Chain A
Amino acid sequence: MHTETGNKAVVGGLIVVLLLAGVAVSAPLLAPGDPGRQNLVLNLIKPCWEYPFGTDELGRCIFSRVVYGTRVSLTIGVVVTAISGLIGVFTGLIAGYFGGLLDEILMRTVDVLLAFPGLVLALVLAGLLGPGLPNVILALALVGWMGYARVVRGAVMAVKVKEFVAGVRALGAGDWYILVRHILPNVLAPVIVMATLGIGHVILNAAALSFLGLGVQPPTPEWGAMLNGGRSYLRTAPHLTVFPGLAIMVTVLGFNFLGDGLRDVLDPRSQAKIPD
């Protein structure tokens, strides 16, 4: 039963995510207009046949901007998750495997960084580094790796005492060979689940940074930045606010569905399946 609902969620989430990836790749084909082209005569037009989501204060086609925004948000989500995932998995692997002082130092660092609410730290980092896409990615990656490190460390400590590890070692395998070929594959399931949910989380935080004016800057078509721009026109032109937010929600929902489903299917609690 559990796995069945999990499979449905995986399929549903995967469809949404693949559709969005398709939109991102084929943005120039799907967008009816240039996301940056201004037309002050046609500003703040309500949604209509020619402009499905209306136009913004500078007369730009909101539908085209939302379509192009998929590229920005997915790029940030995937790149940040890849960087923080790599840092976290590497840290967790060596901390859990080698233990001792190295483990102590790395895990204290994780504790300290986790003592800051993540978005607060990312805000300050982005604010100090200055706005812009590379700095947003850097700020979010720096505050996002600790969770992976903790989970991987725990999993490594559970796996490294298994008999098959001792067996491989008895055959003369080196530490790095054991880590990469035998331990890593066994701790990957929770990491995949975390990373899938993590992409959604990163997209939300990136949008929040841009909404506050500390992330991706206008005129780049970024959903959070578009919401920030639309705020002043909430009374007269609410469509500026409705559509970019909807895009964020659908995207994050897709990744959450996929991640939840994967968790049910891979069930981290069934770690007992690891061969002894």
Chain B
Amino acid sequence: MSTATTAPVGRMAALARAELTLLGRSRGTLFAALFVPLILPFSAREAAKQMDLAEVGLTLGTVLLPASMGFSLLYAVYVTLVSVYTARREELVLKRLRTGELRDNEILAGAAFPAVATGLAQCVVLTAGCAVLLDVGAPRAPHLAVLGLLLGFPLCATLAAVTASFTRSVESAQVTTLPVVFLSMIFSGMFVPLEILPDRVASLCELLPLTPVITLVRGGLTGELSAYEALGAVATALAWTVLGVFAVRRWFRWEPRR
């Protein structure tokens, strides 16, 4: 009997390495993942300038940096992974992987690695870029921003798996990702900070999946987030992740519909 058995980390690393190679060879996905999150914030910049930010205690930097990270989560992680999961399912790769020692969650996590790494790298670049170009200043509570991102990546990967469950082809992923992308951009405090929305609307928006991430990152920059608010944001993000995991277990399809 063989003595050496594989460990989950080793298996996921092997899968992640293959996925990284594939990401490098997929021009379209690569472009969307790498450049959209880095370019989009500049279009938001003009809009942000029109807003009366000083009145609610915000600056251009504390609006644009969380927004940019939000774009990164949406495009580099969420949108990219919806097409990765869908493509691998339709190519029967997921089914083939399931015949081996990899467990279901290892397959999804391993395949997510390159996208998550891209997103993380972008967040670092964006932080550095905003610090230099927009004079953001040192973050007041960096741990909150880090916590926000740590919650954001698994959340977006989970949401991607849920969306992929309802996506029939890579082409239709362009449509099925729109609800999460648009709702998040408009109502999660990315384009429009919740601070300048009416209270009623704002408290509804706080329930959206990506809002807690943006709130924590912005709170990390401004330092103006009470422990109570931070806890609420963490709870919301965790709740969405748990809900997402449940949905994946219930609805994720490992092979194409016949």
Q: Please determine whether chains A and B interact with each other in the same assembly.
A: no
Q: Which residues of A are at the interface with B, using a C-beta cutoff of 8 A? A: none
Q: Which residues of B are at the interface with A, using a C-beta cutoff of 8 A? A: none
